[in-house]
Amino acid sequence: DEDQTKYYFETDTLLDPSSMITKGSYENKLFFDFTKYASAKGKIASGYQNEMKSTEDEARKEELTKILMDMSADISVKREEISVKYPELFIGRLYKAMLEVVAIDAPEDLGKDEAREYQYMWLRNHYWDNVDMSEDGLVRSPVFHGKLSYYMDNFMPPIPDTAILMTDALMNKIEKGGSDIQYKYTLQYLLDYFQKSKYMCFDKPLHHIAQNYYCEGKAYWSDSAFKDKMCTEAGKMAPTLCDVIAPDMNMPDTSFKRTVRMSEITTPVTVLIFWDINCGHCKKEMPIVSQYYDSANKEQVQIYAVYTQGDWEGWKERIKDEEFKFINVGAAFGIDQFRKNYNIKTTPQIYVLDKDKKIKFKKIAAKDIKSTVNFLLEEQGIIEKKEEKTEAN
């Protein structure tokens, strides 16, 4: 019931934390008392750390390591005591959020890998147990950001569907907790995280956030212009998300007398490429593509290469000079909406499709075509998986 808006501090001219006194706020007194305690421990620890750097005595190093670990544990215990004794105060909630969740032991009947997975899943599911999802103030401290960053970097696997499940689970948990500021901060953090992610197909969780949070009005703080932008971008992404059937194309070949429909390709894997004869990167990548195709099993993989510009004579000449033997088609006569469907802004763009023409890999380098194609062939049981080589004992 203390009026937390009326308090003051006293200190000396050296601004020494050990001489700081607070009046009018018991919560701030708790904070400064703990800070003094931790600071005193830190000064002692600093001496031990300096000794550890200078000594060559391994036994003494082990002893110092244990002392430092014990001192760190003492500070954690002190912090936990405050969180337990004062759960109604912000400092109690803050210090509880700083506590590490320790994994439980896995069942004894599990193997080593299964036990590791069990503990990983348990930690992932209980990671937020010590965080009060109703406390807005946590976002104003470094603690919430640190926990969120660690969670994404250490518990988020490079699997887009799992990323979506984890995103929804966390947002639902915060929504139930009731902190609007946590909800806003987390959604904005996740949007930025997926926009910057280098993982394959992580535009899928990005599309999910745009479509299911911004377009649905759950990002209530966003103005109409930003919401419209997000929805527009989500619409552009939708046709080429991983596990979506690639938009079909029916384009003329170099003869301009017949068209080739991509969906009629019958090989188990199709490599789709968008390229341009004047694109500098294409000039480096396309010979690698051609070299791969010349050595590939044509019953297992076909390449559907789409020329995106309009220099038809230059295109035909390049194909002839480079001896590109795969399927070559061009976006002639304006009969195909490939730019809209595939949102082509740069070239080359390389997609790898399975037997159902679902997008499995996208925007890869030419050198990675072989490994991704083989992965899909192995997945379909067409070729045997290569056993990892192990050294003989």
pLDDT in tens, 163-206: 999 999 999 999 999 999 999 999 999 999 999 999 999 999 99
**What CA–CA distance (Å, rounded) separates 346 from 281?**
10
| Gyration radius (Cα) of the chain, Å | 30
Q: Which helix (H) or strand (E) holds 351?
A: strand 349-353
pTM for the whole structure: 0.85
What's residue 252's pLDDT? Answer: 94
Range list for CATH 3.40.30.10 in the chain: 250-379
Structure tokens at 138: 């946590």
- For residue 23, the cross-strand partners are 8
What's residue 4's pLDDT? Answer: 64
**What CA–CA distance (Å, rounded) separates 19 from 356?**
72
In the numeric block, the tokens 């969120």 are attached to 148
Structure tokens at 276: 């341009």
What lies within 8 Å, CB to CB, of 244 at 6+ separation is 238, 358, 359
Pairing of strands 250-252, 259-261: antiparallel
Amino acid at 212: N
What's residue 140's pLDDT? Answer: 95
What's residue 389's pLDDT? Answer: 42
Measured from the Cβ of residue 197, the count of other Cβ atoms closer than 10 Å reads 18
Cβ 366 vs Cβ 286: under 8 Å: yes
| Residue 312 φ then ψ, to 5° | -65, -40
**Which of these, 119, 133, 207, lies nearest to 164 by C-alpha position?**
207
Tally: H helices and E strands in the chain: 13, 9
What's residue 105's pLDDT? Answer: 94
Pairing of strands 301-307, 327-330: parallel
CATH superfamily of 250-379: Glutaredoxin (3.40.30.10)
Structure tokens at 3: 């009026």
What's residue 331's pLDDT? Answer: 84
What's residue 274's pLDDT? Answer: 97
What's residue 371's pLDDT? Answer: 96
Rounded to a whole number, what is the largest CA-CA distance in the chain? 90
Structure tokens at 120: 């990983």
**Which residue ranges of the chain lie beneath pLDDT 50?**
388-393
What's residue 392's pLDDT? Answer: 40
What lies within 8 Å, CB to CB, of 339 at 6+ separation is 308, 331
Classify each residue of 45-68 as buried b or exposed e, where b means 16 or more C-beta atoms within 10 Å of its C-beta. beeeeeebeeeeeeeeeeebeeeb
Q: Which helix (H) or strand (E) holds 19?
A: none
Cβ 242 vs Cβ 205: under 8 Å: no
